[in-house]
Amino acid sequence: MTTGELVSEETVVRPVRWRLAALKRVPVLPMAIITLMLLAAILANVLTPYSPVDIALPKRLKPPFWEKGGSLAHPLGTDPMGRDLLTRMLYGARVSLVVGFLGLLLGGGVGAGLGLIAGYAGGRVDAFLMRVTDTALSFPIILFAILLVVILGGSLLTVVLAVALVLWARFARVIRGEVLSLRERDFIAQARIAGSSSLRIILVHLFPNVLNTLLVLLSLQVGWVIIVEASLSFLGAGVPPPTPTWGSMIAEGRDYIASAWWVSFFPGLAILLTVLSFNLFGDWLRDALDPTMRQL
Please give the domain boundaries of the chain with CATH numbers for all domains. Answer: 27-42+87-289 (1.10.3720.10)
User: Of 192, 219, 222, 230, which Cα lies nearest the Cα of 289?
Assistant: 219
DSSP assignment letter at 60: T
pLDDT band at 9 (very low <50, low <70, confident <90, very high): very low
The predicted model gives 234-244 an average pLDDT of 81
Omega into 58 within 30° of 0, i.e. cis? no
Lowest-confidence region among 13-22, 110-119, 133-142 = 13-22
Mean pLDDT for the chain overall:
82
CA 137 to chain centre: 18
Contacts of 229 (CB under 8 A, 6+ apart): 95, 96, 99, 100, 103, 159, 163, 238, 245, 247
pLDDT for res 296: 43
pLDDT at 219 over 60: yes
* 101-120 confidence digits (pLDDT tens): 888 899 999 999 999 999 88
Kindly tell me if the per-residue pLDDT of 291 is higher than 80: no
What pLDDT does residue 13 have? 45
Query: What contacts 37, CB < 8 A, 6 or more positions away?
Result: 93, 97, 270, 274, 277
pLDDT, tens digit, 9 for 90 and up, residues 29-47:
888 988 988 888 888 888 8
Q: Is the pLDDT of residue 195 over 70?
A: yes
Quote the pTM value.
Answer: 0.81
Distance, CA of 286 to chain centre: 15
